[in-house]
Every structure is written in C-alpha cells, then in structure tokens.
Amino acid sequence: MDCQYLPLASTGQFSSLFLDYISNKDSLKPFYGRFPDLAAFKGQIDEKTFSESNRQVLVDALERQYQSFENKPDFSILLQPNTFTVTTGHQLNIFTGPLYIIYKLITTINLARKLKAAYPSYNFVPVYWMATEDHDFAEINHFSLMGNNYAWQTEQRGAVGRMNPQELKTLFAQIPEKLSLFETAYLKHTTLADAARYYVNELFGAEGLVCLDADDAALKRIFVPVMRDEIIHQQSGELVQTRTKELEKLGYKTVIAPRDINLFYLDDQIRERIERKEDGTYRVLHTKVKFSESELLALLDEHPEKFSPNVVLRPLYQETILPNLAYIGGPSEVPYWLQLKSVFEQYKTAFPILMPRNFAMYVSAVSSKRIRKLGLTPEQLFQDTLALKREFIETHTRHILKFDNENKTINKALDAILHKAQMVDPTLEKAVLAETKRFANAVTGLEKKMRRAEERNQETGIRQLLAVKNDLFPNGGLQERSENFLTFYLNDRQFLQKMMSVFDPFNYQMQLCLE
C-alpha cells in the first residue's frame, strides 16, 4: 500500500482549535497537560497513580462482562502496577458506524504497541470505552454500506447499551450481503453493549483490545465521592465555564456547554438530567421523579449505577476507574477535553495525554490507478470540485482558453477610442464605456463556451476525475465520516490489517492509502 500525506490544515476540514492544538501552539498549553509525543509518556507514567483495590474492581468488572466469551483476553495483566491503559471511546453505532470509529480503535492498538517498544518495562493495554450510557439513539441507529443507507427503528428509550438488538433482524433481510459476524452479535445477545463487545472482540481481540462497559455498579462506586460533591456543591460547571470563556477569548469556538449538575438519572428506558430547584429539591427532567438532597445522596450510596456522568464528568470518570495515560479522540473530542482540565485539577486526577486519532482515506485499486494516470496530488483531491475540474481542464488542454493577450491589445485600442471620443464630445464617455463593458462580457462568455467545448474534448479524463472525487468524498463529505468499513472489508479481508500496518499514532496528517 502506497501512502501519501497531507497536513490537516490543508484539507479545510478541521477547526482552528484542533489545528492549533496539534501544532503545539503556546497559547493553548495551559489547557492540557503534556503534548502528545512519545517522550511525554514517561512523565505521564510517573504522574499517574492507580490503587491496587481499583485495579481489582476493574478486573472483576471486565471478567463479568466477558464471562460468556471463549476467547476472552487475560485481564490479570491489569492487576500489575506497571500496567497502564490507552483509551478511545465512542457510541455503539450499529455495524460499527463510519470508518473513523474503526480508525480510532486501530490508532489505540498501535499506540499501545509503540509505547511497549519505547518503554519495555511497562505494559500498555488498548481500551475501547463503549458509550453504553449515551441516549442519543439518532446518532447510532444508521449506517451506510455499498452506497445504501440502513436504519434501525425502535420504541426503546434510554441508555443505548441496554437496548435489545433483536429488532435488527429486519435490517438483515434488507442487506444483500451476508454479515454473519453481526448476525451473531445482534441476534444472539440481549443488549447492544454485549453485541458490540462481541463483534469488536472478534475483529480486534487478538490485537489486545479490551472493551469496557462503564455502566457498572462496582465501577461507579469508585466515582461516588465525585458524584456526591457534584450533587452538593456543583463545582464542575463553573470550572468548565471559566475555561470555556478563556478559550473563547482567544477566538476559539467551544464544543460543550456545562450544566449546574453534570449528572443524569439512569434507569430502565430513561436517562434524563438531574436539576436542583429553588426549593432545594432535585428533579429528573421530563419525569415526575424528585428527591430531597438526603434522599438523592442515599440513592447514590445504595445504587450508584442509577447515576450517569454527562460529557463534562464522563472523562473524569474514565480517568478515575482506569490506569489510563492517553485518550485518543477525533477532531471534535480533543477540543472539548481542552475545556475540562480544571475539573481534573479540582479532583487531583492526572489529565491524560490527548491524542488525535489517525485520519485516512482508503483508495481502492481502481481509484488509485486513476489518480496515478491523472497525475493528481493529495492537495488537489481536497479542492472544491468545480475548481479542481477547471484546473484539470487548463492543465491538460493543448489550447489557450483565455484571451489575455488579445484583451490587452483590444483594451489598448478601446482606451484610444475613448480618448478620441472624449476629444469630440465628453458626453460620449458613457456610451464608449458601456460598449467596452459589453465587449468584456462577450469575451467572458466566449471563454466559458471554449472551456465547455474543451470539457467535452476531455470528457473521459473528467469522468474519471469525478469518479475519484465521489469515491473519496461520498455526498461531498470525507469518506471516513460516512462509509462503513464493510464496504472495503467484504472485498478484502486484509483491509483492517493493512490499515493497522500503515497507521502511525504520532503522525497527525491526512493519510491517503493507495492500493
């Protein structure tokens, strides 16, 4: 596989906050701990503390979650004090969702390997944090395969990880391809969390990837002190708001907006925000559920699993229950973590190294052949389609499609005509200028007609050019944000291994992978 690289800033696809972060801009350094390079991990290892008891709780939880697996990982390595994790997370998109989710997992696996090579006296476990408690079903209920879109419709509500995936049986009847792995995952498991764990383990378990479902009473009990403080003192929202204003003062658009209480109430078919009212009671939004402070704290102590951190506290929860060194995120995730550092400082928890995932375009053999034949560069592929087509025509034509030299000669003559007319009668100026403008418009029209004619002459090349563009930018967007990995995997069972072999977790560029 031939790989070509393009700076992310040259793609026009990323926010200034994200680009400035990966450029190590000085003004952003107060918003994170260590910049994501290989050398930074030694300091992160030294800073990260994780108790023996918490390791045991973590391993016990993983053993419970993998208890039905025949080929489950050996979790005992996590009991060792020299073992750390590197983590990525995402919603449980059906059939894995867009390609970039797969890329996040591969980046995390490769990071663990690279760290082991650099720091052989330590162990590094790649972790997939399954966002089982997320309740935005519209985010996960669809996927695209071979140009066709499929969606799961359900009346189920609440945390998606608790949903029963049996209803997906209707989708398998619509999909022409045989997807045995996913049929087993979805039709032989009773929760979406169990189904996702199954297929991710089948795809990446041999690479050491561990799936964690943090919707677990024992794990949440570790986080009770923070959740108790959030209920009583409500500090996290104010801390994040202060950071947010600082980023906005620097000219950046921020991603998340904190709440006064950054916790949800979690139960069957429900995940709703907890709000404190003026009368001192706590209410669960869109329900009739309410508590006094003492009742809510008693529920927290007895059933911590009924509380779910939102986007402000979830990262802290992650770093509390894992011996984690780095979080691997996308171009919207990394920026929102930059709003959270003061929350970590408040609770004396090491802020992880923020690492961008790998960004890539997989170029099929057909498109690769066309790119080489057409002589296209990575920079050109990211141009607007009309601009790219215009440049292609002008580059490959044997003719001159503009009247630049002729215009100079004619404009000189028109200036002379204007001068003579003004000498005869100054009021003739407007008439001459109008004719001059009419002539300029006629020339522009002729140039357009010539370009369209040349476009017809180059019809084959332009058709190939547009085919490449549509392949890499389906519906005008990045391939990795819409295509499913099965589009390529079904034709090439080595697809995942190929991508794993070319991804470097410390290369923060757009990567074109040409077959």
Tokens 């596989």 appear where? 1
Q: What is the pLDDT of residue 460?
A: 79
Q: What is the pLDDT of residue 457?
A: 56
Euclidean distance between CA atoms 108 and 326, whole angstroms: 9
Tokens 């680009």 appear where? 19
Element (H, E) at 283: strand 282-284
Is 342 strand, coil or helix?
helix
Euclidean distance between CA atoms 514 and 19, whole angstroms: 25
Write phi, then psi, for 150 (nearest 5 degrees).
-130, 145
Euclidean distance between CA atoms 328 and 354, whole angstroms: 6
Whether 231 contacts 255, CB under 8 Å: no
Q: What are the structure tokens assigned to 116, written together?
A: 């082991």
Write phi, then psi, for 369 (nearest 5 degrees).
-65, -40
From the list 365, 309, 303, 354, the residue with the least C-alpha distance to 330 is 354
- Eight-class DSSP state of 358: P
Q: What are the structure tokens assigned to 220, written together?
A: 């949440």
From the list 510, 211, 507, 128, the residue with the least C-alpha distance to 355 is 507
Euclidean distance between CA atoms 487 and 484, whole angstroms: 6
Q: What is the pLDDT of residue 450?
A: 60
Half-sphere exposure of 104 (CA within 13 A, CB side): 28
Alpha-carbon 341 to chain mean position: 20
7 burial (CB, 10 Å; 0-12 / 13-18 / 19+) is: middle
94 burial (CB, 10 Å; 0-12 / 13-18 / 19+) is: buried
Euclidean distance between CA atoms 205 and 198, whole angstroms: 9
Parts of the chain with a pLDDT under 50? 401
- Eight-class DSSP state of 271: E
Whether 160 contacts 137, CB under 8 Å: yes
Q: What is the pLDDT of residue 120?
A: 98
Beta-carbon contacts of residue 10 (< 8 Å; ≥ 6 apart): 379, 382, 510
Query: In one letter, which amino acid is 322?
Result: L
Q: What is the pLDDT of residue 392?
A: 77
Euclidean distance between CA atoms 223 and 314, whole angstroms: 10
Euclidean distance between CA atoms 273 and 233, whole angstroms: 16
Q: What is the pLDDT of residue 363?
A: 95
Euclidean distance between CA atoms 55 and 66, whole angstroms: 16
Q: What is the pLDDT of residue 428?
A: 82
Prediction pTM value: 0.89
Whether 320 contacts 226, CB under 8 Å: yes
Euclidean distance between CA atoms 111 and 108, whole angstroms: 5
Q: What is the pLDDT of residue 82?
A: 98
Beta bridge partners of 328: 88, 355
pLDDT single digits (tens) 354-384: 999 999 999 999 999 999 999 999 999 999 9
The β-bridge relationship of strands 210-213 and 263-267 is unpaired
Euclidean distance between CA atoms 127 and 88, whole angstroms: 6
From the list 51, 70, 53, 74, the residue with the least C-alpha distance to 62 is 74
Whether 329 contacts 354, CB under 8 Å: yes
pLDDT single digits (tens) 381-436: 999 998 888 887 777 655 554 666 666 777 787 787 778 888 888 888 888 788 88
Reading across the β-sheet that carries 509-514, which strands appear in turn? Answer: 2-7, 509-514, 359-363
From the list 282, 284, 307, 302, the residue with the least C-alpha distance to 226 is 307
Q: What is the pLDDT of residue 197?
A: 98
